[in-house]
Structure 1
Amino acid sequence: MHVDLDAFYAAIEQRDHPPWRGLPVVVGAAPGTRGVVATCSYEARRYGVRSAMPIAEAVRRLPPETVYLRPRMGDYAAVSRQVMAALGDISPVVEKVSIDEAFLDLSGLAGLIGPPAAIGALTKAAIRAAVGLSASVGIGPNRLIAKLASEHRKPDGLTVVHPEQVQTFLDPLPFRVLRGVGAKTSARLDGAGVKTVADVRRLPLVELRRLLGARVGAEVHLQARGIADDRVDPARERKSISKETTFPEDVADVAVLRDAVLWAAQEVGFLARQEGRAGVVVTLKIRLRPFETHTRSRTLAVPTASDGEIFRAAWSLFDVHRWAGRSVRLIGVGLSGWAGRQGSQPDLLDAAVEPTSPRSRRLDETLDAVRRRFGDGALQRGLRPRR
């Protein structure tokens, strides 16, 4: 079973502020600033607004009564913990995959609770009782089908796909629902006249491998037949934490780009510290004009969750690759290679890097405390002018 909270951040805001119910609510960057929509209510989605849309574009689409909010990540995380506790009362095997979604193993629950539809209905009722929010639930024979089923009737949906119904469920869906189908893959399938999952299934494996490459072609071939991973693993780690922003207009101003990288580093550092993680691999993602995307990484000698260290490593990648003066559409920062993992080769250039100083740790802790109490936009790090 896949459980996905509906418009999670926005739904919490509407729950906590009754006058906002029924109004378009956008959680993310403030109007008039650079940044994107984190999430929005279904009232806002009717205007074509979506997550990751530049806030300037969202403002152009939405009516004057729209409510714009900065995220309250501490409050959202607290609600998430309540939801996961409620899910733990349904199944002993729960895999949290993000702040607002999880997979559950339903093995053996039919005798205790009833058929899959009854389990799904009980789950939705338990979440509503615990936190007053709606969730969309999908149940199927593996992770792919359960995930697609939860998306099928959003919001507040419940879809059960039995094993013998998998192909009937999949075939009419657009091929883009398959995992691993990105922009380049889509273009190649479009060029081959493919529209639906059924069209993908009709292509021979050798043709899919020719079009998409051996690995992706084989994965898409299996998914189109409903074959996917069916394991729910509570110990499965998230591989990375990342944050990026898309500018409403291309940006070449280096000062603006440094501010954006600092913001992203703070977001990543905060999330890493909340999860008790420290990583050795810092990644910078940049999209240049017209649509030239690069991802570059640097491996540190010492694991970190420090905003400042993440920023310095990410910005050094910008400097090293000499992107100054280029027009940038998107920029973002990621952290991975969690402490304790094997196989991370330190960067020899970072041999002199020392662990985070006590002063820097105290600053991070103070910023985190202010952020949890007053919201994400209450206090931000500044940058010293470059000399």
Structure 2
Amino acid sequence: MTANDFAKIYQNEDRRVVFLIDSKSFYASCEAVERGLNPLKAMLVVMSHQENDTGGLVLASSPMAKKRLGISNVTRQKDVPDVPGLIKAEPRMNLYIKKNLAINAIYQQYVDDEHLLPYSIDESILDITDFWHLFGKNPREVAQKIQRQVLAEMGIYLSVGIGDSPVLAKLALDLEAKKAPHLLAEWHYEDVPEKLWPVTNFGHVWSIGSKTAQKLQRWGIASIGDLAKQNPYVLKERLGLMGEQLYALAWGIDRSDLTEKITPKDKSYGNSQVLPENYHDGVAIQVVVQEMADQVASRLRAHQQQATLASLYLGYADQGIAFNTRHNPKTGLHQTVRIEPTNRSQTLMAVLKRIFQENWSGDPVRYIGVSFSGLANESIQAISLFDKAPSPTDQEEDPVDTVVDQIRRRFGAASLVRSISLEKGATAISRANLVGGHNGGNAYE
């Protein structure tokens, strides 16, 4: 392919200036800064703690801990070596959220709200196309200015990928910037053949999971360059929408617009947790299911929503909890039922209890998820012409729910619990101050 042919491919593509910024080893860096240590030089891991047979997991490790001890973010607590100078920090999720908000507030000094997208707890996307010239001679200089400001004000090092599109910025970040001396990489469409196409380890490429990578390799696609040469219609036929997206990724093309307002087609409220041990006792499993139903029902009421669909997921022990196995009956249970619109705790608890009793296979359970969807505003009620009109009491709020919600909002989720939370296997009290499943704050909202 000649340079002219290559240029024609991108002639109709919008060239933007996109920064994808990653806070390096974010949780570990926050803990290092709180201790007055340099995040790049400290020997530190952030480790969750579980009272079970396998222990907790390393959530984050400093670059030095990774380099010297080979610790990764999936290392088990029991496999973390006891060496002099290694700091083992408990997670503080509320601290990390606070730091993340402060870092994004710095980004807001360079772009407006519409052109800033917090992508995760440690990554943000900035479309700085219309703003960079206000802060430097070129985008690279602006990126370095942001790096220096965040380091000076927050003590956190940033890795920055710069690209002509969001996906190109992400690839520049993951494949080059994170290991570059200045933690900065800039990729343009013209760089795709030289920098992207030679990549053969699909596991290093954003959005390509292990199962997709295995399929690609079975089809003789051994590199991103091979992927770019495929027929996009065949890829879409084989992989669906993902095939189309992967073809675009192989060319660095991404037409996402950060300013576009996205409205979810079907919103839902849910919660999930990994149990501290394998649960064999059906009664204990029911207790946790009901606790979770109560917690999610509280969120429904807080947002004035009622649900018409209730779902229960059980992940069986020793089967893994990967997303692509969630609907496999051999590895777990996933059952959804239609219900009358409600957000009452007692009703939703009873529904999920019935789903469990009617469908549980008796296998030991390690993962539980509940969700409520098919939402409608609680102030609007659909009435069938063929059914008896609902009584006034059916439409009124449960006074017990109202009082419980008020107390929990004021004093915390564990300030008032149902009696089932004192039974064997219950987890609501121990998890009340967790954020994202880890130590760090009130998870009521």
Sort the TM-score into its range (normalised by shorter chain): 0.7 to 0.9
CA RMSD of aligned residues (A): 4.6
Tell me how far apart the structure 2 counterparts of residues 364 and 128 of structure 1 sit (CA, whole Å). 38
**Which whole-Å deviations, capped at 9, do the CAs of 1:106-142 have from their partners, x for residues lacking one?**
1123422221211211121222223211121111122
Tell me how far apart the structure 2 counterparts of residues 254 and 199 of structure 1 sit (CA, whole Å). 51
Tell me how far apart the structure 2 counterparts of residues 38 and 262 of structure 1 sit (CA, whole Å). 30
Check the 8 A contact 1:95/1:236 in 2, yes or no.
Answer: no
Give 1:287's aligned residue: 315
Bigger shift: residues 355-364 or 188-197 = 355-364
Q: Which secondary structure state, in structure 1, belongs to the residue aligned with residue 129 of structure 2?
A: coil
Q: Which among 169, 194, 197 is matched to residue 171 of structure 1?
A: 197
Displacement of 1:97:
2.3
Q: Which among 158, 163, 185 is matched to residue 140 of structure 1?
A: 163
Give 2:140's aligned residue: 117
Displacement of 1:285:
4.4
Query: 2:181 matched to 1:154?
Result: no
Q: Which secondary structure state, in structure 2, belongs to the residue aligned with residue 25 of structure 1?
A: strand
Q: What amino acid sits opposite 2:243 in the alignment?
A: G
Bigger shift: residues 87-96 or 226-235 = 226-235
For residues 234 and 209 of structure 1, do their structure 2 counterparts lie closer, same or farther at Cα, with a shift above 3 Å needed? closer
Query: 2:151 matched to 1:128?
Result: yes
Q: What amino acid sits opposite 1:360 in the alignment?
A: V
Give 1:385's aligned residue: none
- The number of equivalent residue pairs is 366
Tell me how far apart the structure 2 counterparts of residues 314 and 6 of structure 1 sit (CA, whole Å). 44
Displacement of 1:207:
3.8
Displacement of 1:36:
5.2
Tell me how far apart the structure 2 counterparts of residues 122 and 277 of structure 1 sit (CA, whole Å). 44
Q: Which secondary structure state, in structure 1, belongs to the residue aligned with residue 94 of structure 2?
A: helix
For residues 124 and 118 of structure 1, do their structure 2 counterparts lie closer, same or farther at Cα, with a shift above 3 Å needed? same
Q: Which among 117, 127, 138 is matched to residue 95 of structure 1?
A: 117
**Which whole-Å deviations, capped at 9, do the CAs of 1:213-244 have from their partners, x for residues lacking one?**
x3222222222121213422385579778765
Q: Which secondary structure state, in structure 2, belongs to the residue aligned with residue 98 of structure 1?
A: coil
Q: Which among 359, 363, 373 is matched to residue 403 of structure 2?
A: 359
Q: Which among 65, 68, 76 is matched to residue 96 of structure 2?
A: 76
Q: What amino acid sits opposite 2:362 in the alignment?
A: G
Query: 2:363 matched to 1:326?
Result: yes
Q: Which secondary structure state, in structure 1, belongs to the residue aligned with residue 124 of structure 2?
A: strand
Give 2:48's aligned residue: 28
For residues 39 and 59 of structure 1, do their structure 2 counterparts lie closer, same or farther at Cα, with a shift above 3 Å needed? closer
Q: Which secondary structure state, in structure 1, belongs to the residue aligned with residue 408 of structure 2?
A: helix
Check the 8 A contact 1:105/1:232 in 2, yes or no.
Answer: yes
Return the TM-score normalized by structure 2. 0.65
Query: 2:255 matched to 1:195?
Result: no
1:270-349 aligned at under 5 Å gives the runs 280=307, 284-288=312-316, 290=319, 292-294=325-327, 295-296=334-335, 312=349, 315-316=352-353, 319=356, 322-323=359-360, 325-333=362-370
Return the TM-score normalized by structure 1. 0.73
Displacement of 1:300:
7.6
Larger Rg: 2
Q: What amino acid sits opposite 1:101 in the alignment?
A: E
**Which whole-Å deviations, capped at 9, do the CAs of 1:239-288 have from their partners, x for residues lacking one?**
77876555797654446656776897899899x79x98978577554433
Q: Which secondary structure state, in structure 1, belongs to the residue aligned with residue 195 of structure 2?
A: helix
**Which whole-Å deviations, capped at 9, do the CAs of 1:324-358 have from their partners, x for residues lacking one?**
52244544456777887xxxx99x9xx96975723
Displacement of 1:188:
1.5
Q: Which among 4, 8, 11 is matched to residue 29 of structure 2?
A: 11
Tell me how far apart the structure 2 counterparts of residues 364 and 199 of structure 1 sit (CA, whole Å). 56
Q: What amino acid sits opposite 2:32 in the alignment?
A: Q
Q: What amino acid sits opposite 2:404 in the alignment?
A: S
Q: Which secondary structure state, in structure 1, belongs to the residue aligned with residue 326 of structure 2?
A: strand
Check the 8 A contact 2:47/2:56 in 1, yes or no.
Answer: no
Q: Which secondary structure state, in structure 2, belongs to the residue aligned with residue 89 of structure 1?
A: coil
**Which whole-Å deviations, capped at 9, do the CAs of 1:51-109 have from their partners, x for residues lacking one?**
4x4xxx51232112554444323222221221111000011221122332211111123
For residues 145 and 373 of structure 1, do their structure 2 counterparts lie closer, same or farther at Cα, with a shift above 3 Å needed? closer
For residues 377 and 221 of structure 1, do their structure 2 counterparts lie closer, same or farther at Cα, with a shift above 3 Å needed? closer
For residues 301 and 355 of structure 1, do their structure 2 counterparts lie closer, same or farther at Cα, with a shift above 3 Å needed? farther
Q: Which secondary structure state, in structure 2, belongs to the residue aligned with residue 233 of structure 1?
A: coil
Check the 8 A contact 1:139/1:160 in 2, yes or no.
Answer: yes
Query: 2:63 matched to 1:63?
Result: no
Check the 8 A contact 2:47/2:91 in 1, yes or no.
Answer: yes
Check the 8 A contact 1:10/1:27 in 2, yes or no.
Answer: no
For residues 9 and 301 of structure 1, do their structure 2 counterparts lie closer, same or farther at Cα, with a shift above 3 Å needed? farther
Identity %: 22
Check the 8 A contact 2:161/2:171 in 1, yes or no.
Answer: yes
Q: Which secondary structure state, in structure 1, belongs to the residue aligned with residue 159 of structure 2?
A: strand
Bigger shift: residues 123-132 or 173-182 = 173-182
Q: What amino acid sits opposite 1:137 in the alignment?
A: V
Give 2:241's aligned residue: 215
Give 1:384's aligned residue: none
Tell me how far apart the structure 2 counterparts of residues 317 and 177 of structure 1 sit (CA, whole Å). 44
Check the 8 A contact 2:160/2:184 in 1, yes or no.
Answer: yes
Q: What amino acid sits opposite 2:102 in the alignment?
A: Q
Structure 1: state its 5+ residue gaps: 382-387
Tell me how far apart the structure 2 counterparts of residues 10 and 83 of structure 1 sit (CA, whole Å). 16
Q: Which secondary structure state, in structure 1, belongs to the residue aligned with residue 403 of structure 2?
A: helix
For residues 250 and 19 of structure 1, do their structure 2 counterparts lie closer, same or farther at Cα, with a shift above 3 Å needed? same
Bigger shift: residues 324-333 or 5-14 = 324-333
Tell me how far apart the structure 1 counterparts of residues 347 and 210 of structure 2 sit (CA, whole Å). 29
Check the 8 A contact 1:5/1:134 in 2, yes or no.
Answer: yes
Query: 2:255 matched to 1:229?
Result: yes
**Which whole-Å deviations, capped at 9, do the CAs of 1:180-232 have from their partners, x for residues lacking one?**
533432332232233321122233234423432x3222222222121213422
Tell me how far apart the structure 2 counterparts of residues 91 and 189 of structure 1 sit (CA, whole Å). 39
Bigger shift: residues 257-266 or 286-295 = 257-266
Tell me how far apart the structure 2 counterparts of residues 87 and 310 of structure 1 sit (CA, whole Å). 45
Structure 2: state its 5+ residue gaps: 1-18, 328-333, 416-431
